[in-house]
Amino acid sequence: MDGVIEYPSYIVLDIPSPMEEKIQALRSRFDTERAQMPAEVTLTGSCGVGTILPGQEISFICEEIDRVAAQYAPFEATFDHVERFQNTDIYYFAFQDPAPFTALHHALANSRIKFRHTDFPFVPHCTLKLRQHPTEQELLELFFLHTPQEPFKISRMSLYSLPELTSCILHHKIPLTGSE
């Protein structure tokens, strides 16, 4: 946990196995370059607040993440349907109940961590396809995709940096340990 943030950095909620493998299998169809990246729900760095402002001590950020994680209990999540961020080629699974994700996002946004600005409101999501324009066939497949309906337990928060879009550096993982 030594050093400072150098690359675009994100705070996420980890999607557990076996759902993680299902997401990675779907990504292998739609976004092969990122198929093996961790399956996660981005809390900071995408929308709501931007990436973590570079130059901050990683140990300080981890302390803040630990403080927030201690306030929130693990919770059950279920995907709802595929959506697309407006005017982008980013496709994602939305959630049936966004409330617990939104609460965690607000807690992090109001922490002492400094974030870059973004104009986009927070939307809890698990990205399926990023950046490349989909073919007509991919569009049909994405919008008629059978969304996994099995609930899964969200119980861990992580801090990642992305030196490239296809690789990540894990800085920290912490369980959610708050009471119900």
Flag whether 160 is in a domain: yes
Q: Which residues pair with 175 in a beta bridge?
A: 156
Q: Contact, 63 vs 170, CB < 8 A? A: no
DSSP 34: G
Q: What is the pLDDT of residues 8-26, one digit of tens each?
A: 999 999 999 999 999 998 8
Domain containing 150 equals 9-175
Looking at residue 161, its pLDDT comes to 95
**Has residue 180 been placed in a domain?**
no
Question: What local confidence, expressed as pLDDT, does residue 46 receive?
Answer: 86
Asked whether residue 2 is domain-assigned, the answer is no
Q: What is the pLDDT of residues 64-94, one digit of tens each?
A: 999 999 999 999 999 999 888 888 878 889 9
Q: What is the CATH number of the domain that holds 84?
A: 3.90.1140.10
